[in-house]
């Protein structure tokens, strides 16, 4: 574990975020790492682009006539905007199912605007506001296509989940029965895997998306295209995943997971990246992702300038004046070259 980002106040370190970074290629070779890459973490929502593959590989998505936009919402942790709600509703319609079939539970939407609209109109959020409702619809679709029980599709004993696990284990080059399974925020199974194995699933996704000879080519290409062509479906307005993919064209896919997980698949050199902030605070993820993409030469200058507000995130006081920043302090090329302590003075300009 290494310090990855600091939060400053008046040029002093007020808080520190520790964590892990691992970058692998599609053969599983670790190219860069910060911290022990065998550390196991829950994959959380970053698993969604991998979890959707059986839907595509089985032929269910084609048979049910899913569009790329709908595949994008299946890979999403969406913010519950109108466009997201409608996409999920549309998906369910194609399955002849309704919101009652969704077992993801109800949460307040991430979209502040939608949240305020709900409060203002005295409405309660619905399952469509749940960030995982797209993933759950995709699971229902696979269950329906295969003729499995749709009433307990989210239980790990349902063959839908077995199929998803089997595929995920293959991408991670792990034995399915050795992967500890926990419960995600939306009630679906979630997998505990070493960080480098999680990175590997994204490296494979990137490779297969480009390798016409791969048996997974079409499925992985569809995931990549769906996420990069409909980034607004993957998270939402003002959200990091959306803005990152909007800024980088079709170069990469990026997906956040709860408790500060972030995964990236990069077409160039078929790289997969997994980041985990140990304390689970998402605010540290964004600057670290941008820093790493810069370090490995993926972000051009104009792409970087479009993402600057995610790089040295400005913190303001109640009058809107700048009082500090969230600054990435990780250096892939020379790990642990400097110690950081609370209360140390740090100059923001050092890192620009």
Q: What is the length of the chain?
A: 352
Rounded to the nearest whole angstrom, what is the least distance from the CB of residue 179 to other proteins in the complex?
Answer: 11
Rounded to the nearest whole angstrom, what is the least distance from the CB of residue 275 to other proteins in the complex?
Answer: 13
Binding of residue 318 to other proteins (CB under 8 A): yes
Site for other proteins (CB under 8 A): which residue of 24, 50, 186, 329? 186
Q: Which of residues 255-274 bind other proteins (CB under 8 A)?
A: 259-260
Rounded to the nearest whole angstrom, what is the least distance from the CB of residue 351 to other proteins in the complex?
Answer: 19
DSSP, collapsed to helix, strand or coil, labels residue 237 as: coil
Q: Which of residues 28-47 bind other proteins (CB under 8 A)?
A: 39-42
Q: Which residue, 227 or 278, has its beta carbon nearer to other proteins? A: 278
Q: Which of residues 109-128 bind other proteins (CB under 8 A)?
A: 116, 119-120, 122
Binding of residue 175 to other proteins (CB under 8 A): no
Residue 211 tokens, joined: 């390798």
Angle between helices 240-247 and 285-295 (to 10 degrees): 20
Site for other proteins (CB under 8 A): which residue of 126, 210, 246, 281? 281
Binding of residue 187 to other proteins (CB under 8 A): yes
Distance CA 98, CA 293 (A): 41
DSSP, collapsed to helix, strand or coil, labels residue 215 as: coil
Q: Who's near 340: CB < 8 A, 6+ residues apart?
A: 3, 6, 13, 16, 329, 346
Angle at 248 between CA 263 and CA 80, to 5 degrees: 65
CB 322 within 8 A of CB 316: yes
Q: Where are the alpha helices (DSSP H) in 211-307?
A: 217-229, 231-234, 240-247, 285-295, 301-306
The interface region with other proteins, picked from 99-107, 164-172, 197-205, 304-312 by CB under 8 A, is 99-107
Binding of residue 103 to other proteins (CB under 8 A): yes
Site for other proteins (CB under 8 A): which residue of 2, 7, 91, 290? 7
Q: Who's near 284: CB < 8 A, 6+ residues apart?
A: 4, 5, 17, 19, 260, 277, 326
Percentages helix, strand, coil for the chain (3-state, rounded to 5) are 45, 20, 35
Rounded to the nearest whole angstrom, what is the least distance from the CB of residue 121 to other proteins in the complex?
Answer: 8
Distance CA 210, CA 270 (A): 9
Rounded to the nearest whole angstrom, what is the least distance from the CB of residue 4 to other proteins in the complex?
Answer: 11
Q: Which residue, 333 or 341, has its beta carbon nearer to other proteins? A: 341
Site for other proteins (CB under 8 A): which residue of 152, 185, 267, 312? 185
Residue 31 tokens, joined: 């190219």
Binding of residue 312 to other proteins (CB under 8 A): no
Residues forming the site for other proteins (CB under 8 A): 7, 9-10, 12, 14-18, 39-42, 103-107, 116, 119-120, 122, 130, 132, 180-187, 190, 192, 194, 259-260, 276-281, 284, 317-321, 323, 341-343
């Amino acid at each position: 574990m290494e310090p990855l980002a600091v939060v400053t106040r008046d040029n002093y370190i007020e808080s520190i975020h520790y964590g892990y970074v691992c970058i692998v290629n599609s053969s599983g070779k670790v190219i860069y790492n910060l911290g022990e890459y065998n550390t196991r973490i829950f994959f959380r929502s970053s698993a969604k682009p991998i979890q959707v593959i059986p839907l595509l590989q089985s032929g269910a998505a084609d048979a049910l006539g899913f569009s790329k936009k709908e595949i994008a919402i299946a890979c999403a942790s969406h913010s519950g905007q109108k466009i997201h709600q409608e996409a999920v509703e549309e998906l369910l319609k194609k399955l002849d199912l309704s919101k009652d079939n969704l077992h993801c539970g109800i949460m307040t939407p991430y979209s502040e605007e939608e949240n305020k609209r709900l409060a203002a109109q005295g409405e309660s959020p619905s399952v469509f506001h749940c960030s995982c409702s797209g993933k759950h619809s995709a699971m229902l679709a696979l269950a329906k296509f295969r003729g499995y029980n749709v009433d307990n599709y989210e239980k790990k004993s349902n063959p839908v989940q077995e199929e998803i696990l089997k595929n995920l284990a293959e991408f991670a080059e792990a034995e399915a029965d050795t992967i500890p399974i926990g419960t995600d925020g939306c009630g679906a199974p979630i997998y505990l895997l070493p960080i480098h194995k999680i990175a590997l699933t994204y490296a494979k996704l990137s490779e297969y998306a480009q390798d016409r000879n791969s048996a997974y080519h079409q499925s992985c290409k569809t995931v990549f295209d769906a996420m990069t062509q409909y980034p607004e479906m993957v998270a939402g307005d003002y959200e990091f995943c959306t803005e990152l993919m909007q800024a980088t064209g079709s170069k990469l896919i990026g997906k956040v997971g709860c408790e500060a997980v972030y995964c990236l698949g990069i077409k160039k050199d078929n790289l997969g990246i997994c980041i985990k902030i140990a304390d689970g605070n998402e605010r540290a993820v964004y600057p670290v992702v941008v820093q790493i993409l810069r370090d490995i030469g993926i972000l051009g200058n104009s792409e970087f300038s479009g993402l600057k507000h995610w790089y040295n995130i400005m913190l303001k006081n109640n009058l809107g004046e700048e009082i500090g920043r969230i600054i990435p302090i990780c250096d892939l090329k020379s790990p642990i070259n400097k110690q950081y302590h609370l209360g140390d003075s740090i100059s923001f300009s050092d890192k620009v």
